[in-house]
Amino acid sequence: MPERIVHANGVELCVETFGAPGDPAILLLAGMSSSMLVWEDEFCARLAADRRYVIRFDYRDTGRSVGYPPGAPGYGGLDLAADALALLDELGVFKAHFVGISMGGGLAQLVAADHPERVASLTLISTTTSAEYGDDLPPMTEELLDYFMNAPTPDWSSRESIVDYWVELDRRLAGSHARDDAALRARVERMFERTANYESSMTNHNVMDKTSGAKRDISAITAPTLVLHGTEDPLFPLEHGIYLAGKIPGAELVMLDKVGHELPRTAWDVAVPAILAHVSQTLTRVSTTE
């Protein structure tokens, strides 16, 4: 179905779905400052082709969802998790398979811990624990830290400056797999065109309250869990994925060779079948609210 605006959790969110509403639902949760377009059309279509109802949406301050002034989001991570559940309610979905990348993986863990009845399964991609690191997990690489500390701020009035920034950031986060920079740039330009305020989009998720009341014991998560993690992730090194898979009971780990902090097309032939197999193994059909 085409993109549409729905009212959920007291705010307006932009959502798009693939497949039939009666099929098991897969809710896709993007990373920080990322709109729904981080989940490419073809990726969503591949999931939906296996008779799945695939849902992607724009977080607050991304894409066509509600926006806030730069530096003053007025919401926190728990609100974004609540948005996801409220969105499912608006779509008539009670239980879904949560697939989250980076920050989206953290939000998925929060929902699984607090509302296990709503989560049919978890797929955690390029992410880490939503609790404090307890086992000396390695930090981001020195090279990436240096980039974050010294990268120039984009000119928020310039399309070219913002697109250049996104493309360079993607390059810094990527692994050593083959890249299609022309396709990436085209996708970033599409993201730019449907974002009302890129300064808010790139700023507010960084400054929002991400920790207040948000620490959870991931060893208590009961949802069947799949962990997909790149072997060359510079933000959350592979040890983070290994840690997640070891702490969440029964979790399965799939390592993505030559992949960084991302889910590139080169990994889809591994990731998509793994996600679909994981979803199928739960034998859970979607429930609709009355």
Band of pLDDT at residue 136, cut at 50, 70 and 90: confident
Q: Would you list the DSSP string of 142-182?
A: HHHHHHHHHPPPP-TT-HHHHHHHHHHHHHHH--SS---HH
Record the tokens describing residue 268, joined without a space.
């889809």
Q: Give the Cα separation of 287 and 93 in Å (integer).
A: 6
Which of helix, strand or coil describes residue 6?
Answer: strand
pLDDT at 214: 58
Q: Which of 121, 233, 240, 278 is catalytic?
A: 233
Three-state SS at 190: helix
Supply the pLDDT for residue 211: 62
- pLDDT for residue 285: 40
pLDDT category, 121, cuts 50, 70, 90? very high
* Stated pTM of the model: 0.94
* Catalytic annotation present for 35: no
d(CA 50, CA 81): 26
> Quick check: 121 and 224 in contact, CB under 8 A?
yes
- What average pLDDT score do residues 231-253 get? 96
What b/e string do you get for 46-62 counting C-beta neighbours within 10 Å, with b at 16 or more? bbbebebbbbbbbbbbb
The whole-number average pLDDT for the span 113-124 is 97
Q: What pLDDT does 216 receive?
A: 82
- Confirm whether 280 is a catalytic residue: no
Contacts of 246 (CB under 8 A, 6+ apart): none
Name the fold adopted by 4-281. Rossmann fold (3.40.50)
Question: pLDDT tens digits for 89-116?
Answer: 999 999 999 999 999 999 999 999 999 9
Summary mean pLDDT of the chain: 92
Question: Which entry of 34, 65, 102, 130 is annotated as an active-site residue?
Answer: 102
Residue 221's pLDDT is 95
pLDDT at 139 (0 to 100): 92
Give which of 34, 42, 60 is closest to 192, Cα–Cα: 34
261 assigned to active site: yes
pLDDT at 284 over 60: no
CB atoms within 10 A of CB 86: 18
Residue 119 has pLDDT above 60, yes or no: yes
Q: Which of 205, 229, 240, 261 is catalytic?
A: 261
